[in-house]
A and B are shown apart, each in its own frame.
Chain A
Amino acid sequence: MKMPGARIVLECLKRQGVDLVFGLPGGAVLPIYDALYDFEGLRHILVRQEAAAGHAAEGYARTTGKVGVCLVTSGPAATNLVTALQDAMMDSIPIVAFTGQVPTHLIGNDAFQEADNVGITRPCTKHNFLVKDGNDLGPIIREAFHIASTGRPGPVHVDLPKDILVKEWELVWPEHVQMRSYNPNYEGHPGQVKRAAKLLARAKKPVLYVGGGVISADASAELRQLAELGQFPLTQTLMGLGAFPMDHPLSLDMLGMHGSYYANMAVHNSDVLVAVGARFDDRVTGKVDAFAPHAEIVHIDIDPSSISKNIKVGVPIVGDCRRVLVKLLDALREELKDEPAPAVREGRRQWAAQIAQWKHDFPFQYEWSDDVVKPQYVIQEISNATGGEAFIVTGVGQHQMWAAQYYKFKHPRMWCTSGGLGTMGYGLPTAMGVQAANPGKLVINIDGDGSFQMNSQELATCFTEGLPVKTVIINNGGHGMVRQWQRIIYKERYSAIDLPQIPDWVRLAEAYGCVGLRVTKPSELVPAIEKMIATPAPVILDVCVDKDECVFPMVPAGGANTDMILAPPTREVRDKASKSQTGF
């Protein structure tokens, strides 16, 4: 049966199991919106700006494990979407983005709202397609979902010229996707797995370092088994938070630039470091020459190009984290059948004692104040109030790091943050996508006053679509992270960082039909959080915090992880910083 291309697109989405689409209509995609008018079984959420559609799809994908979908028009809509695509690219989030395009005969003519969409998105997607023939619609959409969700997940973009959407075509729906040029490797090499197990069994100072790949691969259960089987201390990257419960005795919390002292020390002094679904990002390694200098490194990753990109590893294992961990568990059980050598046992005992000492001596800490709200306290109270059972989304900046440090994560797929790209404004639209995907669940967007303003228009979407996202603004009246760097590294020459208290967030919330609350004193915080959680509508909780508070510990950029700054900078630290070649 023939049907218009627009209808084929919707049929394909339905067959693909898509139930939610985030989008914003426009000229080139009008045929799809027309087909959507009486199409059953697809919920469309109208966003206010296209990047928000992309971020919402990311939130949907990260928390459900399914592919997120967004749909926008040509030209400016596609270029607005680019930020979300690159964000999903850096964090390996599976989304499929549809954009409209001018009719095929006008492509290249500088037509109204034309842009070279596929040319623009080529470097910021895992793959992209321009549909030039309506018979390819089905196969291309099928491949798009296949590519987005398999191997190392990522964003895929499909560009749809208007005439293709209008003309009638046969619906072609291949049952199986077969691509000769794309065959990800899922099973780790058995020999390498065995080597890794041998190393772990004999390690005196082992550490597991786990990232977002564990979450993408749904490997948390296997990871926990591995950690408990060998009693391996475990640290998580920003993207990996939730892969392992933070209240677990083996948890070392987050590592890296703003990670815990004990995690960075443990990694630095380890003799066997097993990276699972993590990519040795510069915010994790600091100075690469000084990263885990004594360790034999095992790297488990689905993406071969992640291996030995930044740090040369001894035991590379290309494969799906879950399947490799299952094999590694078996291999390790085999190795552990023999009683470990006394030296190993003694080494492990000392290692555990050393880590406990570090944890005891240098926990995350801040100075309490009775007068002004400390931002870390806000996160702690959110963590207490939710018991780690809420979906947490953040913007980018100081509040993001405090959320990562002080929230007690329990479960995977309940944490969304822009890790790789560091996209300010990510918070609200992503939280919106999370809420739409998880109706009835508590979704809290921890945001900054700078970050939140970049997408605050989405409050309208939250209100009209009935998405009761709770936003806590850690309001320090400025771009706090920039201020922190200017304070520590640029000799307090504060430049372009002040955001005077405009808008009034409570009134802004009310203008959008949402509920606004404000906290200025520590004593008001807990009741306000309780009230926020109890409110069924979208809420902004504006918490005015100490603007001088900095995120510590901190590894200066380009510095070694052992050079952590643990407390507010002294003159000596500032002098050291000013002499640094990289300016940190």
Chain B
Amino acid sequence: MELMPIKNPVYVDLWEQIQQQFPSVVSAQEDDYGMLTLYTSKEQIIAVLRFLKKDKHWQFIHLTDITAVHYPLELLPFTVVYHLQSLVLNLRIRLKVAIGGEPPEIPSATTLWPGANWMERETYDFFGIQFLGHPDLRRILNMDELEAFPMRKEYPLEDPNRVDKKDLYFGR
């Protein structure tokens, strides 16, 4: 991947510090909309999150969101996306971890934020991503009997076997 240089000086500082702390964090990129994205690995993610949260200067204490994106054609098909916010510096960043395997596994962030609990349950519910160390990884919005993980791209929006929605009934 070709990376654009980071323009925002605050992000440059942050990226330099992260590189010092975690030499093997893969890369960082600032997008057109002024948001820094850090790409890291599932081995590193908790350490990076802990650094970002606990660091006296950066204080990314607000875990805004955890979700995932499914790229079925990629080698590592699932990307777990974290949005963090530093209320003191008024700064938002995005962290991405690409994972593969079946089931895909990643350590849970509940050790750092109890509030990650439901966000990770939701992500598990829809993508089947196992958050290792999560205290209560159950489905949250879908019914317990559901066997599939419905936000995966291969899961159809509608049941293709439905017989009550034939096109001819709708003049198509």
Partners in one complex: no
